[in-house]
Structure formats: structure tokens, C-alpha cells
Chain A
Amino acid sequence: MVDPLIIGAIGAGLAVGIAGLGSGIGAGITGASGAGVVAEDPNKFGTAIVFQALPQTQGLYGFLVAILILFVFKTVSPWAMFAAGLAAGLAGLSAIGQGIAASAGLGAVAEDNSIFGKAMVFSVLPETQAIYGLLIAILLLVGVFKGNAGAETVAALGAGFAVGFAGLSGIGQGITAAGAIGATARDPDAMGKGLVLAVMPETFAIFGLLIAILIMLMIK
């Protein structure tokens, strides 16, 4: 039997690597729009930084899970570690969607400061997927469902895949949120309806989360 930490280390690498990939692309998209905004009005630098910070959180969650795997929960089953990394990493790709939404939000705020709060709320929507990924990663690592095959054997990967790939719905959600920000900028009353539309793609992330929890609970 190989050292359990070897499989865990792969998980840690996936967590930082894939989530970093997502965050990098997302922050890049927002940064490009930020550069345009700052060129027009240098005072908007602070706003640009705040919006660019949003898609970076996914990378941070990946980093957090990697640290947890490598330093804190060294004793849990290797497959749980691997699956935790997978969940946090794949779900971190939602940062691409968040980057798209944040770049639209930044553009809208550059035109009209008063919709800052609304743009912020829309830009935060695609982060839900990453949070679900983080949630599953932590549930796996902490050993909440200890003793269940779904949380300790190779089946745990199923949970990681479920919440991870479902987390890609964040990209779609980001695109919807970007459109909704545009609509809200033109008509502030459109916010409620925009939110309903933008929350739709999240349904699939919730399915993923649900299945992941069922996998961890049921298989014995």
C-alpha cells in the first residue's frame, strides 16, 4: 500500500491547481475590464480592485483545502483527501463565471456609482458553487460521515465529481448575472426578476451538492 498522503497530495495539488486556473481566468477577465475603467477614470482604481477580488476567492478556497489536506487532516482516508481536493478544485472553476459577472458589474458601477450594491450582489452569485465545493471538501476531511463507504473508499470521488462538475454551472450563472447587471443598470426595478433568472443555473449546483451528500450518507 502506498503512503496515504501520496493520494492526498494529488488531491491537494488538484485543489490549488484547478481552482487557481479558474481564479486566474476569472480575475483576468475582470482585470481587463478594470484596466479599461481605470484608464477612463483613475479614481475608480479601488472599485476595480474590489471587483477583481471576487473571482480570487475560489483560488483561496483551493489553497485552504490544500493546506487542510497537507497539514491538518493527515489521518483521514486518502480517498477522502483526494475527493476533497477534486471538489474544491473543480468547483473553483466557477470563478470564470464570476469573473464575467464581476467585469459587467465593474462596467456598470463605472457608469453609475449608485448601483454598487446591486452589482456586488449579482457578482457574488456564481460563488455559491465554489462554496458548495468547499463545503463538501470540509465534510469529507472532517470525517462527518465517518464509517460510510461513500466518505472513505474510492466512492468518495463520486461526491467530489458531483459537486465539482455541477459547480461549473457557475460559468453559466456568471453569464446570466452579467446580463442581469446590464438590465438592472438600465432599469433598477429589474433587479428582482434578474435575480430570479440568475439563480436558475444554481439549481444544478444544488443537485450536485445533494447527490454528493447522498453518496457520502448512503453507500455502506
Chain B
Amino acid sequence: MKKLKAVILDEKIDSVVRSLHEEGIVEICDLSEKLENVEWKTLLSPSPSADYVRNVTSLMIKAGRILDMFSSVNKKETSIKDLLNPKPIEKKKVSFRSYEEVINYVEDILSKVSSEVDEPAEKLAELDNKKSKLLQLKEQISYLNGLEFDLKYLGIGPYVFIGTGSVPKEKTAHLKEELEKVADGYVDVFFGSEFEKDKKIRVPLVVITLKEKLEDVLSELRKFEFEKYDISGVEGTPTEALSKIESELKSIDAERNSLIEKLKSLAEKWEKELLAVYELLSIEKARGDAYSQFGKTKRTYYLEAYVPARDAEKAKNIIESSAEGFAFVEVSEPDEPEEKIPVLLDNPKPIKPFEMLTEMYALPKYNEVDPTLLLVPGFLLFYGIMLTDAVYGLFLTLIGLFVWKKIGKVNEGASKLGYILTLAGIATIIMGIITGGYLGDFTYEFFGFDITQTPFALVNPLGESFYINSKHALFSLGGISVTNGPMAILVFSIFIGLVHLLVGLCVGFKENISRGNVGDAFINQGIWILLILSIFVGIGLMFAGASSLVAGGIIGIFVLLAILASMYKGYKSGGIMESILGAMDITGFLGNVLSYARLLALCLATGGLAMAVNIMAKLVNESVPIVGIIIAILILIVGHMFNFVMNGLGAFIHSLRLHYVEFFSQFYEGGGRRFNPFKANREYTTTA
């Protein structure tokens, strides 16, 4: 990373910001905090967002409102076909040189759209409003069963009030007497037939009273949980009124539908254009808002930005040329503390997608080693060993290719994942061929052909193979001879584990040395490197014919050395107690090594479960007549799919775990801040 500092004439700032945003290679630093410092304050004042932002925001709201309306009338259904084979969005070609041009263009489009869309949209809202009112009226009138009177009399007349509503059934008993008491008898109540609402039985009623007594009657009615219905503007008996409302609703619906059709065709016509417009506006807003991160003098702007070292010259040239020389640019090493400097991973294309796995743990700190390259071979090897089945591997490769090439076209994350899965699938095929796994022991169960006993398979994870069996031991050492597959894979797993840890330790050692922490390098990594090397030397000596006592002695010395060193480390950091805890580091190391034994267990789990599926299918096929074969095929398909998904997922996570927990803990800390470039995010438009 480099730090870029620039002073730019105010007339040219718009053009500079536009070119930087289009290029997307710098991360602008927010200066507002720095500008509170007294020394800076005398030179610079904070800069507000650009003036046009307010204008842009109001246009965005307008466009957003129309887009919302479009998506409510023109609902898009994503079919599974679209999901599996998404079409890339057609991009609209644009070229604007200033924010005025963009705003003029957008205003022009928006006024065109408004002139066509506003009228039907308003009408639709009006109709919706009318409809909801009618629906409420319909509901209330429908409750007035058994009260046949002309609804036009409802309301306050010159002398009398006629109202309607309902009360719960259990309150009807003394209602009339109580009302007569408060209204001196100038009241009458008629009950209709009961109905159910919200699981309660209610009774509709009409109440007639003198205008003068209205207040008293209504307040008395409230004690009876009276619910008043406001029915007005309706004529005829409830039944007549209902049928009239029905027909009115129908005509409204018809009108609504034709409006919606019209709006739908308008949506087809304008939606793409509007999405592009909305995007243009968002980009302009981002540009305008960037001003608030600058500092300002009377006639110039001052900005600071991070830029990746390889792009520094380019960024400088862009600023100078777009400011037509009215700018001063300086590129220097960052002067901030390391944790403030952003991090950009930069790997060659074939391993770039694997950055995803590094990011999942944590980005490296500034100046820390990028572990992506170190992670790739181990990840693929472990994945292959854990899934170990050529047919499953083929499936995985096909799925990976599909995700990478088809779905990956529009989704960058899918493209990366697809790439990783494809490679993992190929690794699985290779390991599957080595261990003779083709849908487990499918060929043996159904055709009696045991591939693990032929020269085509190197090891058999479940027993003896052509190459490794009780007659041909792979090797014998200290009384243990490797005469079968599981033992061979176990030894191999531990060996791979030691090598893997050794690589991690060496990287950590180098990192510590290059940072000048020589003592740390020896205590944290050096002693363990020596221990692993001593294990290799000891075992090598045993192969050469030395007794196990000599080998054990050599390894023992380094184990003791490691314990003493970690006790010393503990003692330095916190006294006697810590030093006793430090002695436990050796078990941590042992745990790390033994953890790689999971390679064997998971390798066996795939093959074993596949075999279990095959055995079940075979049993059903042999014991159930006629339909047995169909059930057997079903068991095979479902069982192998299940095994594939479970173990495919397991292999992925356990490979990651071996890296995150065992491998990274030797040298990697992480915790850097991602480089977040000031970049125009274009989905619907393009400048190229």
C-alpha cells in the first residue's frame, strides 16, 4: 500500500473524483478526524458533501417510488431454470462527463416516465382507497341480518337520531331498560339476528332516540361494549345495499385490472431504463458524498487515499491528467500505525478464488504473510483423502463446473466456490482411484469384482489390497508392520500432518526472524521444528537399522528440550504457575499431530457408508421379489446422494479446520482491514 496525497483546484475536483471513482483503485481516507487537530485546522476546513447531492437524493426518491410501484404491479417470478442458468443483465452504455449531464439526462427520463405513469398510478391509488372503503361498508352491512329497513334513514335527522351497531350477546338482556332510564323513555332498540365475529357471538341492533338524548344514550351504550357502525351514503334495505356494493366492487375490480395491465406494459417499457437511472443516481451520490472526506481551502481541495503500490503511478497520472495539470500529487509510504492500513490480497489467477477461504478466517494483518498459496495444496489433498471416491469426485467436478460456469456468470462468489469445488472434485477422483473407491464397493457387491484386490488400486481403506497385505508388508518398524490399508493410511496421515505442521512452523519462524524477534522465533517455532526433524531422523535411523532405543533417545531429547523451552516461555510471561502450564504445550503439539488422524477416519467413513448403502440395496434386491430391484435402485440413489452430500460437506469443513486450527496457529494471526476501493458499482450500466 502507498499513501497518496493530492491538492486539487476546486474547478477540477468533479472531474478528478469521477475518474478515480470509475477506475476504482484508491480508498479515500476520511480526513474529518484529522481536521480537528489544531495544526491542521489552521490550514484546512472540513468540506461538506457536494451541493448537487440534495438534488440527486430527491431524484432518487422519485425514481425509487416509481420502481416500487412497478415491482408491485409487475411481480417477477424467478423460475428454477433462471436460477440454474441465470442470464447476465443487459448493460446500458453511458458516457457522461459531469454531474450536470447526468442530472439533466435523469430529469428528462423521469419527466417522460412521469407523464405516462403518474395518471394511471394516481387513479389506481384512488381506486384502491375506494375499494377498501367499500369493503369495510360491506362487512358492516352484512352484520345487519334480520333488520330490514331503509339504510338511508341512518344518521342525525332534524329531531331524531337513528344509529346502528352491535353488542355482545350476553349484554343484550337489560340493555333496553337501562337505555330507557337514561333517555326518559325517548328511545327504542331493535335487535337483529346474531352473528359471530372474532369467535364471539354478537347481536346487531338499531337504536332510535331523540337528538337531545344522544350523548346520554351513546355513553350508556358504551358500557354494553357497543360497537358503532358508520354507514352513510347507502340506500335500500341491507340486502339491496349489499348487492349494489357487490356490483360496484366488480366494476372497480375491472377498472383496476385494466389499469394494472396498462401499468404492467409501462413497467416492461421503462423498468430497465429506470433501474439504470437509479444506478446512475446512486453513483453520483457516492461521488458527491466523497467530498465530505476531503479538506478544503478557499480554492482547493485536499485529499488523502490509500492505493496499492502497483497502482500508485496510475492513480497519480489519473489525477494529474483529469485535473489538466491543476493538481499536486505526492505518493509516499503510509505514515499511520499498521492496523489502520487496509489490506488487499494479490494472488495469481489460478489460486485467487482460494482467497475466499483465507477471508473466511481473517484477512492477514498489514505486512503479515498471505497464507492463501500455502493453503491451496493442503486443502485439495485433504479434501481428496477425506472424500476418496472416484464417482463422488466426478459428481463434485460436474457440480463445481456447473456452479463455476453457469451460476458464476452473474455471481462472483458462486464462481469462486465453483472453481474450488471443481479442483476439489478432481483431487477426489485421483484419491478415489488410488483407494479403488467407485461408489464404495459397488462393483464387488453387485458384480463380485473386488477392485481393491487388483493392481488398479493402491490401498484398500478397509483391509488388505493387492500391494499391501499380510504377505507384502509396506514396511515393518519396531515390531509394527504395515500390512493393511487402514494402518498405511494412518501412518500416511500422521506423516502428512508432521510435514504440514513443519511447513507452518517454518513460515512462522521466517516471519518472526524477518520482524527481528529472534528469541520468539526459536521458542515458538524453532524447538518444534527441531522436534519434528528429530522424529524424522529417528525414524529414518530405525529404517537404516538402528535400534528403537537409539531413535527413541534422539526423539526423547528433543521432547525434553521442547518441554523445557515452553516452561521457560511460561516462566518469563507469568512465573512458576505459567511455567507448569507451559509444560502442557507438548500435549498441544501431540494433539495437533494426532488431529490429522481424522484423515483416515473420514476417508473410511465415506467408503464405509457407501458400502452400507450397497449392502442394504443388495439385501433388498435378493430378499424381496419383483419390486425388490426398484426399491434397491431407490436405496442406491437416495443413499449415495445422502452420503455424497454429508461427506462432501464434512470433507470441506474438516479440511478447513485442519488449516484454521492446526496449521494457522503455527504462524498466522490475521485481523487486517479490507481494502475498500472508491469504486462505481455498475450492474445496469457500463462505460466501456
Bound CA span A142–B465, Å: 13
Q: Please report A residues at the B interface, Cβ cutoff 8 Å.
A: 50, 53, 57, 60-61, 63-64, 67-68, 71-72, 117-118, 120-121, 124-125, 127-128, 131-132, 134-135, 138-139, 142-144, 188-189, 191-192, 195-196, 199, 202-203, 206-207, 209-210, 217
Does B513 sit within 8 A of A, measured CB to CB? Answer: no
Binds A, one of B42-50, B148-156, B535-543, B583-591: B583-591
- Chain B nearest CB: distance from A44 CB in Å? 17
Residues of A within 8 A of B653 (CB): 120-121, 124
With A57-B646, A120-B653, A131-B602 known as contacts, the answer to whether A192 contacts B588 (CB < 8 A) is no
Binds A, one of B29-37, B377-385, B561-569, B656-664: B656-664
Residues of A within 8 A of B656 (CB): 117, 121
Contact A144 B595 (CB under 8 A): no
Bound CA span A124–B595, Å: 13
Residues of B within 8 A of A189 (CB): 362, 670-671
- Residue on B with the closest CB to A56? B646
Does B649 sit within 8 A of A, measured CB to CB? Answer: yes
Contact A191 B362 (CB under 8 A): yes
Residues of A within 8 A of B597 (CB): 132, 135, 209
Residues of A within 8 A of B649 (CB): 50, 53
- Residue on A with the closest CB to B584? A203
Interface string of B435-472 (1 = CB under 8 A from A): 00000000000000000000000000011000000000
Contact B612 A202 (CB under 8 A): no
- Chain A nearest CB: distance from B368 CB in Å? 12
Contact A68 B608 (CB under 8 A): yes
With A72-B462, A134-B605, A138-B604 known as contacts, the answer to whether A203 contacts B591 (CB < 8 A) is yes
Residues of B within 8 A of A57 (CB): 646, 650
Contact B670 A135 (CB under 8 A): no
- Residue on A with the closest CB to B479? A217
Does B361 sit within 8 A of A, measured CB to CB? Answer: yes
With A71-B615, A135-B600 known as contacts, the answer to whether A209 contacts B594 (CB < 8 A) is yes
Q: In chain B between 634 and 688, which residues have their CB closer than 8 angstroms to a CB of chain A?
A: 646, 649-650, 653-654, 656-657, 660-661, 664-665, 669-671
Q: Which residue from B487, B587, B590, B654 sits with its C-beta under 8 Å from A144?
A: B487
Residues of B within 8 A of A139 (CB): 486, 490
Contact B604 A134 (CB under 8 A): yes
Contact A144 B657 (CB under 8 A): no
- Chain B nearest CB: distance from A163 CB in Å? 11
Query: Which of A124, A142, A191 has the most CB atoms of chain B within a 10 A radius of its CB?
Result: A142
Residues of B within 8 A of A67 (CB): 608, 611-612, 615
Does B189 sit within 8 A of A, measured CB to CB? Answer: no
Contact A64 B601 (CB under 8 A): no
20 contacts between A and B (CB under 8 A): A60-B609, A71-B615, A121-B653, A124-B650, A124-B654, A124-B657, A131-B598, A131-B601, A134-B601, A135-B604, A138-B600, A138-B601, A142-B484, A144-B487, A144-B490, A188-B362, A189-B670, A199-B591, A206-B587, A209-B594
User: What 10 pairs between A and B have smallest CB-CB spacing?
Assistant: A117-B360, A135-B601, A67-B612, A206-B591, A131-B601, A189-B671, A124-B653, A142-B486, A64-B608, A131-B598
Q: Which residue from A196, A206, A217 sits with its C-beta under 8 Å from B665?
A: A196
Bound CA span A144–B671, Å: 44
Bound CA span A83–B665, Å: 35
Query: Which of B604, B649, B664 has the most CB atoms of chain A within a 10 A radius of its CB?
Result: B604
Residues of A within 8 A of B602 (CB): 131
- Residue on B with the closest CB to A67? B612
Residues of B within 8 A of A68 (CB): 608, 612
Residues of A within 8 A of B664 (CB): 192
Residues of B within 8 A of A53 (CB): 646, 649
Residues of A within 8 A of B594 (CB): 206, 209-210
With A53-B646, A120-B653 known as contacts, the answer to whether A192 contacts B670 (CB < 8 A) is yes
Residues of A within 8 A of B611 (CB): 67, 72
- Chain B nearest CB: distance from A62 CB in Å? 12
Bound CA span A63–B360, Å: 33
- Chain A nearest CB: distance from B600 CB in Å? 6
Residues of B within 8 A of A191 (CB): 361-362, 670
- Chain A nearest CB: distance from B673 CB in Å? 10
- Residue on B with the closest CB to A131? B601
- Chain B nearest CB: distance from A98 CB in Å? 12
- Chain A nearest CB: distance from B143 CB in Å? 34
Bound CA span A61–B605, Å: 7
Contact A195 B661 (CB under 8 A): yes
- Residue on A with the closest CB to B652? A120
With A131-B601, A135-B601, A195-B661 known as contacts, the answer to whether A142 contacts B462 (CB < 8 A) is yes
- Chain B nearest CB: distance from A119 CB in Å? 10
Bound CA span A138–B664, Å: 30
Q: In chain B between 351 and 365, which residues have their CB closer than 8 angstroms to a CB of chain A?
A: 360-362
- Residue on A with the closest CB to B593? A206
- Chain B nearest CB: distance from A210 CB in Å? 7
Contact A63 B650 (CB under 8 A): no
Residues of A within 8 A of B601 (CB): 131-132, 134-135, 138
Contact B360 A118 (CB under 8 A): yes
Contact B595 A64 (CB under 8 A): no
Contact A121 B660 (CB under 8 A): yes
With A189-B671, A202-B591 known as contacts, the answer to whether A63 contacts B362 (CB < 8 A) is no
- Chain A nearest CB: distance from B507 CB in Å? 16
- Residue on A with the closest CB to B356? A117
Bound CA span A171–B580, Å: 27
Given contacts A50-B649, A188-B362, A195-B661, 15 further A-B contacts (CB under 8 A): A53-B646, A60-B646, A64-B609, A64-B612, A68-B612, A118-B361, A135-B600, A138-B486, A139-B486, A192-B665, A195-B665, A203-B591, A209-B597, A210-B594, A217-B480
- Residue on A with the closest CB to B659? A121
Bound CA span A191–B670, Å: 9
Residues of A within 8 A of B600 (CB): 135, 138
With A61-B605, A131-B601 known as contacts, the answer to whether A210 contacts B590 (CB < 8 A) is yes
Residues of B within 8 A of A192 (CB): 361-362, 664-665, 669-671
Bound CA span A189–B673, Å: 10
Contact B669 A128 (CB under 8 A): no
Bound CA span A50–B650, Å: 11
Query: Which of B486, B601, B602, B664 has the most CB atoms of chain A within a 10 A radius of its CB?
Result: B601
- Chain A nearest CB: distance from B494 CB in Å? 11
- Chain A nearest CB: distance from B666 CB in Å? 12
Residues of B within 8 A of A131 (CB): 598, 601-602, 605
Q: Which residue from B485, B609, B660 sits with its C-beta under 8 Å from A195?
A: B660
Q: In chain B between 549 and 601, which residues have their CB closer than 8 angstroms to a CB of chain A?
A: 587-588, 590-591, 594-595, 597-598, 600-601
Contact A64 B605 (CB under 8 A): yes
- Residue on A with the closest CB to B606? A64
- Chain B nearest CB: distance from A181 CB in Å? 14
